[in-house]
Amino acid sequence: MCFRALILSCAALLTFAPEAAAKGCLDGTGTQSARLNEYTITIRPDPGDTNGCVATVGVKGRKPIFRTNNFALEIDPATGRDIDGDGLPDVVITGYAGGAHCCWTYSIVSVGPEQPGLLREICNDRPASFEDLDKDGKIEIVTIDGSFDYFDGMSHGFSPFPPVVLQLAGRKLSRLNERFPDFYLREINAARAQLKAGDLVAFKNLPRDQFPNADWELTKKHILTIVLAKLYMGRKQDAQAALHQYWPTPDEKRMRGLILGTARKGFLRDVSDPKFGCLP
């Protein structure tokens, strides 16, 4: 996770004013602040934790409407944009737990006149971004499903991470994967371009110790990338067909169950779950 300087292009949101172009707080060091309307957003070292940071959102002289702690915190560049679709700018605080590859928390806070405070928190093993993918004026939250990190004994570097597209409406988080098939088709095409016909035959029919070269785990990654992309774009039958085509037949049932179980614990879980988007 690289904590960036607060870079904003908010000509239409003149009420948002960064007060310090700092990089946020990391491991108990560093500060950052900004104003959004009458609210002050402050990130600083946590006085109760020498290795931690604290973020608050509030109006001077009043109790903060939001407070959170983490190993590292920053004001996300999405702050000042309308994240939840109510026509008003919101605050986004990014937290990082400090692990080698984990974990990120995105706290989306309303500073509107009605019920200001935390709207939703999204937690994941991997970072997220806030983008208007289809240029319709609504923000999508784009990430990859971190629940597949170290999947089935794979190393982090070869783990498959299927893309996920979310959107917040008020406090309701929705999954929009099927609206953006190009995300998944690009993943599929890139993986297919890397697969060699001979490696596919060997992967399906030979044990790992008889694989003809050192690309066994890379071949596994590309196959799973294709299968997961199809699954996450809403084409479950196509995903099962791809798994059947590429995966060793004696292990196909186990792998199908493992994929579905992992996905249901990650970002294919029930969107009505209040903690949807946060890994257990």
Question: Does residue 25 form part of some domain?
Answer: yes
CATH of the domain at 110: 2.40.128
Claim to verify: residue 104 and residue 196 sit in the same structural domain? no
Residues 6+ apart with CB under 8 A from 183: 163, 165, 177, 233
Claim to verify: residue 120 and residue 1 sit in the same structural domain? yes
Residue at a domain's end among 124, 144, 167: 124
Instruction: Convert the pLDDT of each residue in 191-250 to its tens digit.
Output: 999 998 999 999 999 999 899 888 999 999 999 999 999 999 999 999 999 999 999 999
Question: Does residue 163 form part of some domain?
Answer: no
What mean pLDDT comes out for the span 160-187? 94
Quote the CA–CA distance of 116 and 185 in Å, as a whole number: 39
Q: Check the CA dihedral 243-244-245-250 and report its sign.
A: positive
Q: Which two tokens stand for residue 122?
A: 């999204």
Residue 223's pLDDT is 98
Count of domains forming the chain: 2
Share of the chain above pLDDT 90, in %: 79
What mean pLDDT comes out for the span 18-45? 86
Residue 15's pLDDT is 45
Instruction: Convert the pLDDT of each residue in 252-266 to its tens digit.
Output: 999 999 999 999 999
Question: Does residue 272 form part of some domain?
Answer: no
Taking the CA atoms of residue 99, residue 225, residue 148 and residue 169 in that order, the dihedral angle to the nearest 10 degrees is 90
User: Could you list the residue range(s) of the whole structural domain that residue 229 is in?
Assistant: 182-265
Question: Does residue 143 form part of some domain?
Answer: no
Question: Does residue 204 form part of some domain?
Answer: yes
Question: Does residue 57 form part of some domain?
Answer: yes
Claim to verify: residue 117 and residue 186 sit in the same structural domain? no
Residue 270's pLDDT is 77
Quote the CA–CA distance of 64 and 6 in Å, as a whole number: 22
Claim to verify: residue 216 and residue 113 sit in the same structural domain? no
**Nearest to 68, CA basis, from 82, 77, 57:** 57
Instruction: Convert the pLDDT of each residue in 125-141 to its tens digit.
Output: 889 999 999 999 999 99
Question: Does residue 87 form part of some domain?
Answer: yes
Question: Does residue 134 form part of some domain?
Answer: no
